[in-house]
């Protein structure tokens, strides 16, 4: 069984902050956008996201620690449940794709209803004449697929694959219904439905907050000082952003309507761009020479306000 603590490399006593830091470090290292074509990195990234999904949620973490769910978030059967049912008539089960599903529920329902009540309307032979049972799945989707909408493939227990439509603006934890894709019904009754719980993978630099998107944008000293237009990524594609002259690290700019779609209201959130001034990796000799002779640069103290808090 996958252990989310081992995946993130943190002890079971790790704090929420420890888990958040470990996740961000690993997510950045293995993100598919930063490792194009690397299938191993893609698989590792999904595993990291799944582990974070469990440990960053206090209730899911508690349930995992208690053995109520496994490392993928699936319900763990009560101890002895499958053993007890497998020993009786019609209690076979199979494991498919990480989900347990009964192959034949007839014997169990016969014991629960048919034998106990002696048959009657709605019962036929050894089985309970009812529609198929619903099944549930857990599906991870890339952040941009959930944000923009698109198709994602899911494999059913019988080996059949379906390309399901992920609606634009799908949120983490949202459940999609696949009509008629559940367990087959008895006595010719229609199959049940399948319910797919969506888990959205984090993105390398887009940070969603409700329907808004927050992103930190590196800018050069020249762009921050003199201002100008720079290209900035959004979930809908790159756009040009006007950086005001004299901007600084921490300056926040808004791109109206460039956030996520709210499916209930039909409105889009905004994107907030936080500037981060970045010096060149290789020191520039002329810039260094200028700063050494720049007297005004020594005339202000950017840390002055911190003195009142110490």
Over residues 251-276, the pLDDT tens digits come to: 999 999 999 999 888 899 999 999 99
Strand locations in 270-310 (E):
271-277
pTM: 0.55
Question: H or E element: which one contains 11?
Answer: none
**CA angle (137, 88, 98) in 5-degree steps:** 20
- Point out the least confidently predicted range of 123-132, 164-173, 260-269, 273-282: 123-132
The answer on pLDDT for 111 being more than 90 is no
* Cβ atoms of 65 and 156 closer than 8 Å: no
Q: What is the pLDDT of residues 194-241, one digit of tens each?
A: 888 899 999 989 999 989 999 999 999 999 999 999 999 999 999 999
DSSP 8-state secondary structure symbol assigned to residue 165: E
* Tokens matching residue 99: 């989900």
- Point out the least confidently predicted range of 60-69, 80-89, 136-145: 80-89
């Amino acid at each position: 069984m996958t252990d989310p603590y081992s995946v993130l490399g943190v002890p079971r006593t790790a704090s929420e902050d420890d888990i958040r830091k470990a996740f961000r470090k690993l997510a950045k290292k293995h993100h598919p956008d930063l490792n194009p074509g690397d299938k191993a990195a893609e698989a590792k990234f999904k595993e990291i996201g799944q582990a974070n999904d469990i440990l960053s949620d206090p209730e899911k973490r508690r349930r995992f620690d208690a053995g109520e769910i496994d490392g993928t978030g699936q319900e763990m059967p009560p101890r002895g449940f499958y053993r007890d049912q497998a020993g009786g008539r019609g209690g076979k089960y199979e494991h498919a794709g990480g989900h347990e599903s009964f192959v034949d529920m007839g014997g169990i329902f016969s014991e629960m209803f048919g034998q106990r009540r002696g048959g009657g309307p709605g019962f036929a032979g050894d089985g309970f004449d009812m529609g198929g049972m619903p099944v549930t799945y857990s599906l991870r989707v890339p952040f941009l697929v959930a944000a923009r909408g698109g198709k994602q493939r899911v494999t059913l227990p019988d080996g059949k694959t379906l390309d399901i439509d992920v609606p634009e603006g799908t949120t983490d934890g949202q459940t999609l219904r696949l009509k008629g894709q559940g367990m087959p019904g008895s006595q010719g009754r229609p199959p049940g439905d399948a319910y797919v719980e969506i888990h959205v993978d984090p993105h390398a630099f887009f940070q969603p907050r409700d329907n808004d998107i927050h992103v930190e944008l590196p800018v050069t000293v020249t762009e921050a000082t003199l201002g100008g237009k720079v290209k900035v990524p959004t979930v809908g594609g790159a756009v040009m952003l006007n950086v005001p002259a004299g901007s600084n690290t921490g300056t926040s700019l808004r791109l109206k309507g460039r956030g996520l779609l709210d499916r209930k209201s039909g409105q889009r959130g905004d994107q907030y761009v936080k500037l981060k001034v970045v010096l060149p990796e290789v020191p520039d000799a002329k810039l260094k020479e200028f700063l050494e002779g720049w007297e005004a640069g020594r005339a202000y103290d950017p840390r002055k306000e911190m003195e009142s808090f110490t």
